[in-house]
């Protein structure tokens, strides 16, 4: 009895027989390595193999389809550099995110999520943001690609950096949100701000870019512009026209709230008007463009009527400003449309023209219903609830806000080489460096040594000027012209070079604690080791030989007091 086998993906032909429908031939001509603009393409290996869950709308597999179409068209030959970037480190993720949150992502797994239920609720990893296998590895991959692109732009070794795996704009500092766990956009902008004084962030995802807006809500160095659907209850529920920023960031946050069903002409009209006015007023030195494809028509979670050509025209419009550009992915939940859209926009960014027929790939079955076309006709349109008058009100309001900028903010910049601060922070400081930090460079190295001695103090090293000998009292004045306030006192030397006239040192007899004798100390020229440069001169009292005759009570075998070099 013969068994009937159902056709599966693995048993289907490698390439579909397209019949009358043509197949695009790949580009074979390689780009001139010295041509401009320089385009870098970031594709972390294995990022498309992660899986949110069977019924979850976010499908990282869309990245695999996109790469297959890009290579199938031969666009890899038109791209200057293609990178498999390293994953972001925990320290790089914590440049924005809380340590406790990143630590949680590193520990939670599908196997232990029951025991970590309380922390899962705290960090909002529920429903939209489920726990799946190798979740942190996935986050580190797409965040590392965005950071790598930002570093290339800062170094000036690329003009356009593309990372379709990035663009997850909902993640907050300490919690997940809207399918997003790590906000690679914020991390990339922070990296760009190390070199670029002003960064413009543009978001054409159908959902409001609330995570990026919140991160820079009080900054005047980042202008955020978001084009999104806003009804009050559509996720994430933010992005009103009146949300303008706060503090120094007042009027540096622009929102363009749109209604269902907006078409190509309306969208491109308001997009080009707002972006052109914003670039003129803000004058960004770098641009980050989030190209969420859920604003396309027929998206699983979207409600706009945009075509792939109109979506790509937004990218082309921003590209023409010739400003360092970081292009990221984002939303998009009808994966065959997402892959077609991002492939077309890759061609736009490299300046290549590609045919409407799709190239032959192993994923031909995904595009059979559209007859393997790059720009299939849009079906199932949503009624357009936007009017020309409503868009005009939005444009007028935004222009009014831009007038408050009064020119682009100027920033005093000082170039910080990558990782130099970290190396300096890890290096141990010596005593002089610590002294400079506490006292300043003007007083660094100044040390005042108190050489006043107690009655019962005994000899303690070369800095001790006490004597335990019989001495006769003498109280000469000491005065010097060195940098120190006093040339010598009790055998002390000032910071400058000088001669003290004499010293008085209280001593005790060995057998009698109540008897004190003071000896006259003949001067001896010495050099102070302080930082002063003056030379003090005192009046000499006598020579050693004359002192012995005039003061026979002093034991000639005992050492003669003299000036001693003391660090002050």
Can you read off the two tokens belonging to residue 134?
A: 């190798």
Task: Tell me how far apart the terminal alpha carbons of the chain are, to the nearest angstrom.
Answer: 107
Cα–Cα separations (whole angstroms), residue 505 to 384, 452, 501: 101, 10, 14
Residue 306 CA to residue 263 CA, distance in Å, equals 6
Give the number of C-alpha atoms closer than 13 A to the C-alpha of residue 298, restricted to the C-beta side: 15
Under a CB-based contact definition with an 8 Å cutoff, are residues 496 and 533 in contact? Answer: yes
Q: Which helix or strand (DSSP H or E) is residue 339 part of?
A: helix 335-350
Q: Catalytic residue at 196? A: no
Residue 343 phi, psi (nearest 5):
-65, -45
Nearest by Cα to 153 from 193, 209, 94: 193
Spot the catalytic one: 170, 196, 228, 311.
Answer: 170
Query: Helices 388-402 and 264-282 sit at what angle, rounded to 10 degrees?
Result: 10
Nearest by Cα to 286 from 211, 184, 201: 201
Cα–Cα separations (whole angstroms), residue 376 to 320, 369, 515: 26, 10, 113
Q: Which helix or strand (DSSP H or E) is residue 163 part of?
A: strand 160-163
**What beta strand segments (E) does 504-549 contain?**
507-508, 516-517, 535-536
Residues acting as catalytic residues: 170
């Amino acid at each position: 009895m013969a068994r009937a086998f159902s056709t599966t993906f693995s048993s289907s032909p490698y390439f579909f027989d397209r019949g009358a429908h043509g197949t695009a031939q790949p580009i074979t001509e390689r780009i001139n390595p010295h041509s401009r603009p320089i385009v870098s393409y970031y594709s972390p290996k294995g990022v498309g193999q992660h899986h949110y869950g069977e019924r979850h709308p976010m499908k990282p597999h869309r990245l695999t389809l996109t790469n297959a179409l890009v290579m199938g068209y031969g666009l890899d030959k038109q791209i200057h550099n293609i990178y498999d970037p390293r994953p972001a480190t925990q320290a790089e993720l914590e440049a924005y995110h809380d340590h406790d949150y990143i630590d949680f992502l590193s520990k939670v797994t599908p196997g232990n999520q029951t025991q970590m239920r309380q922390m899962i609720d705290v960090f909002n990893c529920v429903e939209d943001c489920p726990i799946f296998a190798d979740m942190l590895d996935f986050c580190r991959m797409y965040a590392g690609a965005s950071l790598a692109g930002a570093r290339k732009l800062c170094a000036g070794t690329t003009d356009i950096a593309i990372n379709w795996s990035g663009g997850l704009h909902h993640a907050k500092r300490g919690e997940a949100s809207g399918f997003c766990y790590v906000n690679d956009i914020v991390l990339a902008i922070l990296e760009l701000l190390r070199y670029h004084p002003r960064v413009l962030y543009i978001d054409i995802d159908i959902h409001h870019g609330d995570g990026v807006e919140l991160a820079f809500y009080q900054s005047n160095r980042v202008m955020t512009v978001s084009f999104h659907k806003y009804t009050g209850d559509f996720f994430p529920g933010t992005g009103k026209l009146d949300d303008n920023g706060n503090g120094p960031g007042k009027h540096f946050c622009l929102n363009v709230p749109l209604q269902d069903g907006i078409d190509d002409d309306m969208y491109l009209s308001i997009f080009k008007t707002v972006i052109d006015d914003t670039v003129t007023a803000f004058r960004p030195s770098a641009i980050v463009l989030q190209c969420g494809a859920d604003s396309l028509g027929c998206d699983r979670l979207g409600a706009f009527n945009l075509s792939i050509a109109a979506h790509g025209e937004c990218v082309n419009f921003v590209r023409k400003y010739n400003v360092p550009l970081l292009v990221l992915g984002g939303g998009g939940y009808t994966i065959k449309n997402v892959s077609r859209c991002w492939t077309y926009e890759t061609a736009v960014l490299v300046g290549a023209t590609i045919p409407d027929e799709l190239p032959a790939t192993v994923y031909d079955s995904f595009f059979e219903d559209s007859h393997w076309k790059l720009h299939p006709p849009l079906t199932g349109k949503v009624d357009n609830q936007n009017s020309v008058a409503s868009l005009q009100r939005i444009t007028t309001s935004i222009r009014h806000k831009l007038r408050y900028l009064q020119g682009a903010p100027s920033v005093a910049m000082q170039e910080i080489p990558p990782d130099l601060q970290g190396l300096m922070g890890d290096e141990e400081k010596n005593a002089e460096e610590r002294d400079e930090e506490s006292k300043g460079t003007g007083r660094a190295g100044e040390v005042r040594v108190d050489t006043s001695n107690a009655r019962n103090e005994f000899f303690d090293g070369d800095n001790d000027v006490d004597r335990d000998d019989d001495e006769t009292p003498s109280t000469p004045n000491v005065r010097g012209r060195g940098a120190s306030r006093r040339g010598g006192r009790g055998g002390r030397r000032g910071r400058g070079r000088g001669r003290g006239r004499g010293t008085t040192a209280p001593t005790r007899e060995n057998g009698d604690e109540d008897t004190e004798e003071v000896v006259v100390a003949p001067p001896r020229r010495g050099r102070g080791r302080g930082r002063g440069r003056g030379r003090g001169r005192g009046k000499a009292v006598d020579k050693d030989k004359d002192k012995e005759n005039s003061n026979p009570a002093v034991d000639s075998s005992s050492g003669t007091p003299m000036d001693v070099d003391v660090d002050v």
